[in-house]
Chains A and B, each alone.
Chain A
Amino acid sequence: MTLGLDPATWGAVLLSLRIAAVATLCSLPLAIAVAWLLARKQFWGRGLLNGLVHLPLVLPPVVTGYLLLVLFGTQGPIGGWLRDTLGVTLAFRWTGAALAAAIMAFPLVVRAIRLGFEAVDPGLEDAAATLGASRTRIFATVTLPLIGPAVLAGAVLGFAKALGEFGATITFVAAIPGQTQTIPTAIYGLLQVPGSDGAVAVLVTISIVLALGTLALAEALSRRMQRRIRG
């Protein structure tokens, strides 16, 4: 099933979806942990962590991509270690694109979830403790369900951001058709070739449909969650 699209376009769409999904799901637990730290804990280096998390939001994406290349390239300190010990290469692979997308989306995801933590009444957690619940149980049965809508909002925002990521991705993993070429990099590539307006129009349409679809799905899920919470 390719919906009548040519294989290159279809490949770019599938790859974009896969990259965005992997980037969102893999970064979500870390985003929840960081959001919790920032919302609830006072510790040395809190400001530093906050700044680090927000850095991709304010840096030019090309700079982020370049830094990824330096750190995670096969010659880089982290990339070299990953290749030598785990046999994993990120640069110029779709996994690298997922990493770039995750890092670019991270500040948005953390922000949304942090707001969720700040909206939870700590009194409810105290109440759970007086009823004999451990910290883990309180988190799993009280805090997490109550921040559900915020986690969802963060995930949707992150997914949409990951789908559209361009600068860091093209710098870190280039745009190799079938391997690292996502919808935005494919559109950019097509724009360099005269007479490809039709193909561009198809990808642009798909982008819009995906974005609206994501929003609609998120809205529906969020309503259901709110109903479950508010009763």
Chain B
Amino acid sequence: MIDVAVQKRLGDFTLDAQFAAPDGITAIFGRSGSGKTSLINVVAGLLQPDAGHVRIDGTDLTQVPVRRRRIGYVFQDARLFPHLSVAQNLAYGGTHDREAVIDMLGLGALLDRRPAKLSGGETSRVALGRALMSNPQLLLMDEPLAALDTPRKAEVMGYLERLRDRSQVPILYVSHDMSEVARLSRTLVIMDAGRVVRAGPVAEVLSDPQAVPLVGVRDAGAVLTGRVQAFDADDELTQVALSSATLTLPGRLGPVGAQVRLRVPAQDVILSTQAPIDISALNVLPCRIATLIEGQGPGVAVSLTCGTDRLLARITRRSARAMGLRVGQEVHAILKATAIAAADVGTGDAP
């Protein structure tokens, strides 16, 4: 359990943030300049707050010097020591669970190398391993994937999912990429202009139409959990069972029986009042409208209950009017299979 309430003036910018989060991965999401990095720098002790507290499991760390906080920090630029080998970098803060960490992050072949000889993905993994081996009680990660190209991102993301599933260390994960957030985190903290504007379980926040303006229209979209039912090798399609229907999605998403997390962007959900026939979209979910929220712009955010799953759709106000949508109405949500990008499909249990 982490409990943060801090104020800090930084020139024209004021950080005034508070949130509490359970263990697991907590994503701190926001535009660049919203104060995400300042917030975790305060948590790490690299920035002294003007007022407030940082507590982990009830212990107040506000006055504790950085080196005694036992908070691991994976910096955006990794900050490996250039004059030390990978092995020396890893051991700098301790050798806690050394073999397990090396094995989990696939660092065995890198130990004798210098940081300058590592690829971007390898650098991120070493920085993560170094922080883990210092036996932290909390891990901070500042956009660890931001500097990587797409293939490297996918590679490191796999390791992060392994970390989430194997390690007990709670993590604060700073990101401005919603697909990362949706795949990894259990709790979501949204920041804007130095303040926390929303915090809560990730599935709940992302399916809440009220949160759409906070998340951003493009990034809004619910997170669903499903189970791989079958894989069709000829068409390269995976069947994923949800509570109310089965989705057919491109690519091999995991072994049969595996749990997967899907992020369904709200702007890619089409609503129909009648069961569609003869359309190319493979996925039609019977749903009921839970709420309708009109925003500032031309859009309407529609929250849907489909079995026990919650979905979010964003349509135009004109369509909502023409279709006569109202709360409680039965509708069909149509998902184009390719709307769910590979980066939006993750492994793991319920968010």
| A contact residues vs B (CB 8 Å cutoff) | 121, 123-124, 126-134, 141-142, 145-146, 228-231
The residues of B that contact A124 with a CB separation of less than 8 Å are 79, 81
* Residue-wise interface mask of B (64-90) relative to A, using a CB-CB cutoff of 8 A (1 in contact, 0 not): 001111111101010101110100000
Chain B binding surface SS class: loop
Name A130's contact: one of B71, B81, B83, B115 (CB within 8 Å).
B71
* Residue-wise interface mask of B (1-38) relative to A, using a CB-CB cutoff of 8 A (1 in contact, 0 not): 00000000000000000000000000000000000000
- Contact indicator B82/A231 (Cβ below 8 Å): yes
Q: Top 10 nearest A-B pairs by Cβ distance? A: A231-B114, A131-B93, A127-B79, A231-B116, A130-B73, A129-B66, A229-B83, A145-B83, A131-B134, A132-B67
- Contact indicator A146/B82 (Cβ below 8 Å): yes
| B contact residues vs A (CB 8 Å cutoff) | 44, 46, 66-73, 75, 77, 79, 81-83, 85, 92-94, 113-117, 130-131, 134
Counted as pairs of residues, one from A and one from B, with CB atoms less than 8 Å apart, the total is: 66
Query: Min CB distance, A135 to chain B, in Å?
Result: 9
- Contact indicator A127/B83 (Cβ below 8 Å): no
- Considering only CB atoms, which chain B residue lies closest to A123 in the complex? B79
| Complex-state Cα separation, A133 to B114, whole angstroms | 21
The residues of A that contact B68 with a CB separation of less than 8 Å are 132
- Contact indicator A123/B67 (Cβ below 8 Å): no
Name B82's contact: one of A128, A133, A134, A229 (CB within 8 Å).
A229
Q: Quick one: given A123-B79, A228-B83, A230-B82, are A132 and B117 in contact (CB under 8 Å)?
A: no
| Complex-state Cα separation, A141 to B82, whole angstroms | 11
- Considering only CB atoms, which chain A residue lies closest to B76 in the complex? A123
- Contact indicator B73/A127 (Cβ below 8 Å): yes
Name B66's contact: one of A130, A146, A231 (CB within 8 Å).
A130
- Considering only CB atoms, which chain B residue lies closest to A133 in the complex? B67
- Considering only CB atoms, which chain B residue lies closest to A134 in the complex? B67
Name B114's contact: one of A134, A141, A142, A230 (CB within 8 Å).
A230
Q: Quick one: given A130-B66, A130-B67, A132-B70, are A231 and B113 in contact (CB under 8 Å)?
A: yes
The residues of A that contact B67 with a CB separation of less than 8 Å are 129-134
- Considering only CB atoms, which chain B residue lies closest to A145 in the complex? B83
Name B92's contact: one of A128, A228, A229, A230 (CB within 8 Å).
A128
A-B contact pairs, 20 of them (CB 8 A): A123-B75, A124-B81, A127-B75, A128-B92, A130-B44, A130-B93, A130-B134, A131-B92, A132-B93, A132-B94, A132-B134, A133-B67, A133-B92, A145-B83, A146-B82, A229-B83, A230-B114, A230-B116, A231-B82, A231-B85
